[in-house]
Structure 1
Amino acid sequence: MKQNKALQVLFDNRVVGTLALAANHKVVFQYDDSWLEQGFSISPFSLPLENQVFVPTKDYFDGLFGVFADSLPDHWGRLLLKRLLLAHEQNPDKLTVIDRLAIVGKSGMGALTYYPEQSFSEENDNTDLDELAFQCQKILHTEYSDKLDELYRLGGTSGGARPKIMTTINDEDWIIKFSAHVDGENAGKMEYDYSCCARKCGITMSETKLFPSEVCEGYFGIKRFDRISDISGTKRVHMLTAAALLELDFEQPSLDYHSLMKLTKIITRDNKDDVENMFRRMCFNVFAHNRDDHSKNFTYLYDESADSWRLSPAYDLTYSNTYYGEHTTTVDGNGRNPGKKELLAVGTMAGIKKELCMDIITEIKSCVNEMLGMYLNR
């Protein structure tokens, strides 16, 4: 595999700028002149729209700025790539972070793409979900799967730890998840129930569906919010996780909901609906025991036509623990057992009226207990 030392970053076939691997293993970035004239800041805090060479100051993302690290796959995608490279008799340890972005190419989440692109496999349209789930389990438990190329094409650039594919169904873009070895076989049904409850709690959600299976209760699917369709076809949407915006290590507890609320107010220009929705998500995560609420599980979407950022629909909502027994994002400093007191402190500090905070807390606690009690009381 040919190694790259520089890549072009593109948005909607327009050159945004250039990434280059520096001698200190940092990946520097510079905007293209044309983008400086007509573009926007792709990461408002770290990469303002200025004519300079930007050098990362954090080491959390293998020398990248967070906005580009968001394009890279997480645990499942990295595992697929490792197995695929070994199957092609290549050493995955020799890949630079630039090489990994070249492999992502046009297939990543969000709107940014990378050129020149490095690809592996031809397309295959197998949509047998039970077969794909079986192949995922083979990869998790062994070094072998005879569907490696197909699985990588379908899910190798996705985020998150659980096996998943990104696919098109009836001209709509979906993400479909399978169970990991630490999940129960019916994790899909649980996440679907959580999504229905979150929607009833007033949390903005993409369309979700439980795809049928012959071996379990079903596979959880969620319609992608980084793709929108109009009369001209499918358009990619630029997105940034809170981890990328704040240049945070999402694998370590490094965030409080006070900071998330403040970030939402700043990035959305104090959009009241988004601020309230973030408050609702915090309440839901506390009452529904979703403790894997790290900084990559909160995302903001850019609307180029309005030159504005909005909070994305919620995702990765399910019953979850952490190895240290606390929420990854603390609530007014409390990660172990936050309750009404801490929730109220975060909401009122963000400018939400106390009476509204109390109403939302009561509403969500009641809804969660009613709809998710079978998971919380087991």
Structure 2
Amino acid sequence: MAKFSRPGDDRDVTAWESLALELARRAGIDTTESRLLSIDERSVLLLHRFDCTADRRIGYMSAMTATGHRDGEAGDYLDIVEAIEDHRRRWCSDCAELFRRVAFSVALHNTDDHLRNHGFIRADAGWQLSPAFDINPEPEPAVERQTAINGVVSAETEAEALLEFASLCHLTKPTAVSVLNEVVSAVEGWKSRAVGRGIRRAEIAEVGAFIDEQLARLRKAIRPGS
């Protein structure tokens, strides 16, 4: 599948999504395979479809369907935790994976995280989390996430909310802190990788300023005594 930048985009959204997917993989997150191309000076992101093979389709269910929500209804990551527990025999590993993904989403201020941008694929142990997809950094601080973290949608408080959310994902605090450190470490190298994708300096300054702010919030949240 190919994704193209829109003519009216004020930044190279496709290149930023490519960067987000690479950083997610570095953070230990299962993502769809991707490759960034430049065609006629426009970024094109090639994505491998994870819901089919050469000879068969693989069952796919969006988190919206799994949680029983409808378009326009507010969602919470707790709903996805409950869906994992309901549909997956090996729910513990998927809950841990979900926590890592939410932490990464916070680090990049990915607010386009509605329930259709999460999903499940059919597996031997029931429905398991699909590879992550549609991850994009949002440079505007005031934009709230579409799926709440235990009721929290604001960038100012979501880092602290992660540690409370960890226990609901059945993680101990030391394990959660370790995951957050891994996510921060993976995202810290974002700037050189953005430059390598040919993203304009003005975009890097605009989007990157808030990525760095989010990383600072995560470091503060996991600092001993916080």
* TM-score of the pair, normalised by structure 1: 0.48
User: Among residues 189, 203, 220, which one is paired with 2:45 in the alignment?
Assistant: 220
**How far off is 1:280 after superposition?**
0.9
Native 8 Å contact 1:300 1:311 kept in 2:
yes
**How far off is 1:307 after superposition?**
5.9
Native 8 Å contact 1:328 1:335 kept in 2:
yes
Q: Which residue is equivalent to 2:182?
A: 363
Q: Which residue is equivalent to 2:208?
A: 376
Spell out, residue by residue over 1:312-347, the C-alpha distance to the aligned partner (whole angstroms, 9 max, x if none): 00000111379x721101112110123332101111
Spell out, residue by residue over 1:90-116, the C-alpha distance to the aligned partner (whole angstroms, 9 max, x if none): xxxxxxxxxxxxxxxxxxxxxxxxxxx
For residues 182 and 365 of structure 1, do their structure 2 counterparts lie closer, same or farther at Cα, with a shift above 3 Å needed? farther
**How far off is 1:359 after superposition?**
0.9
Worse-matched range after superposition: 366-375 or 261-270: 366-375
Native 8 Å contact 2:96 2:169 kept in 1:
no
For residues 226 and 376 of structure 1, do their structure 2 counterparts lie closer, same or farther at Cα, with a shift above 3 Å needed? same
Q: Which residue is equivalent to 2:19?
A: 193
**How far off is 1:181 after superposition?**
4.8
Number of residue pairs the alignment of both structures matches = 196
SS at match of 2:30: coil
For residues 180 and 314 of structure 1, do their structure 2 counterparts lie closer, same or farther at Cα, with a shift above 3 Å needed? same
Unpaired segments of 5 or more residues in structure 1? 1-174
User: Among residues 33, 36, 43, which one is paired with 1:210 in the alignment?
Assistant: 36
Q: Which residue is equivalent to 1:308?
A: 126
Letter aligned with residue 168 of structure 2: M
Bigger relative contact order, structure 1 or 2 (CA pairs below 8 A, ≥6 apart): 2
SS at match of 1:302: strand
Letter aligned with residue 367 of structure 1: A
**How far off is 1:376 after superposition?**
2.5
SS at match of 1:228: coil
Q: Which structure shows the bigger proportion of residues in strand conformation? A: 1
Native 8 Å contact 1:292 1:321 kept in 2:
no
Native 8 Å contact 1:240 1:299 kept in 2:
yes
SS at match of 2:56: strand
Native 8 Å contact 1:255 1:329 kept in 2:
yes
Question: How far apart are the structure 2 equivalents of 1:307 and 1:271?
Answer: 9
Spell out, residue by residue over 1:7-58, the C-alpha distance to the aligned partner (whole angstroms, 9 max, x if none): xxxxxxxxxxxxxxxxxxxxxxxxxxxxxxxxxxxxxxxxxxxxxxxxxxxx
Question: How far apart are the structure 1 equivalents of 2:135 and 2:10?
Answer: 16
User: Among residues 336, 345, 353, which one is paired with 2:154 in the alignment?
Assistant: 336
* TM-score of the pair, normalised by structure 2: 0.78
Which has the greater radius of gyration? 1
Letter aligned with residue 193 of structure 1: L
Q: Which structure shows the bigger proportion of residues in helix conformation? A: 2
Native 8 Å contact 1:256 1:331 kept in 2:
yes
Q: Which residue is equivalent to 1:10?
A: none
Q: Which residue is equivalent to 1:264?
A: 84
For residues 307 and 289 of structure 1, do their structure 2 counterparts lie closer, same or farther at Cα, with a shift above 3 Å needed? closer
Letter aligned with residue 376 of structure 1: G
SS at match of 2:189: helix
Alignment of 1:130-279 (within 5 A): 175-184=1-10, 186-216=12-42, 218-229=43-54, 234-252=55-73, 254-279=74-99
**How far off is 1:243 after superposition?**
0.7
Question: How far apart are the structure 1 equivalents of 2:87 and 2:138?
Answer: 28
SS at match of 2:39: coil
For residues 321 and 245 of structure 1, do their structure 2 counterparts lie closer, same or farther at Cα, with a shift above 3 Å needed? farther
Letter aligned with residue 67 of structure 2: L
SS at match of 1:290: coil
